[in-house]
Amino acid sequence: MANELRGKKVAILAADFFEQVELIKPRDALKEAGAAVKIVSLKSGEIQGMNHADKGDKVDVDLTLDEANAEDFDALMIPGGTMNPDTLRSTDEALEFVREFFRAGKPAALICHAPWVLADAGLARGRRLTSWPAIQTDMRNAGAEWVDEEVVVDNGLVTSRKPDDIPAFNRKMIEEFGEGKHKQQAEKSREAPQREMAAPTLET
């Protein structure tokens, strides 16, 4: 995969309490493939990683949402955890940042609970995807076709369920990011609202 993504710029959108392995391993795979990767978050400084229920390492933030511009990036990646995507989907600036990638047809890769963000951004409807199994009802309520597979690709959108899926997730992520913009991604996302009520969620 060396240099497969040379010249590509990738934003990793994350907040405190992201699942550490779901950020670090995809980030490292992207860098190994030649991509320039920036961590984008709600605040400057550092964000806290988690190893399931235990605190892990902190990661330096490169850009805050106020500083970041989706136009400057070729692709988007969002790691999981529970609290990280829950914070992102509750933040209007984060939702609009994600919508900008989809409206432009840029590829995106989300793992575990991260597809929650798509539900609240109005981007899940009509998409075939997977996620952490406990939120499958949320995804279906948001209009997605949810499937139980290690990695799912739908016109530039890559999703996986959990840390065990990361090898397959990384391969497909790099493949889709290398292909560049997907016209159907933009077409499916054109009707995404500026603001949308959150989809119903389950207690997990």
pTM for the model: 0.91
What topology is assigned to 9-189 in CATH?
Answer: Rossmann fold (3.40.50)
Distance CA 23, CA 160 (A): 13
Distance CA 79, CA 62 (A): 16
Pairing of strands 63-64, 36-41: parallel
Q: Are 63 and 38 in contact (CB under 8 A)?
A: yes
Q: What is the pLDDT of residues 26-68, one digit of tens each?
A: 999 999 999 999 999 999 999 999 999 999 999 999 999 999 9
Cα separation of 36 and 111, whole Å?
20
Domain ranges across the chain: 9-189
Give me the catalytic one of 113, 161, 162, 182. Answer: 113
Q: How many CB atoms lie within 10 A of CB 167?
A: 12
* Chain mean pLDDT for the chain: 92
Q: Give pLDDT tens digits for 127-156.
A: 999 999 999 999 999 999 999 999 999 999
Q: Check if 113 is active-site.
A: yes
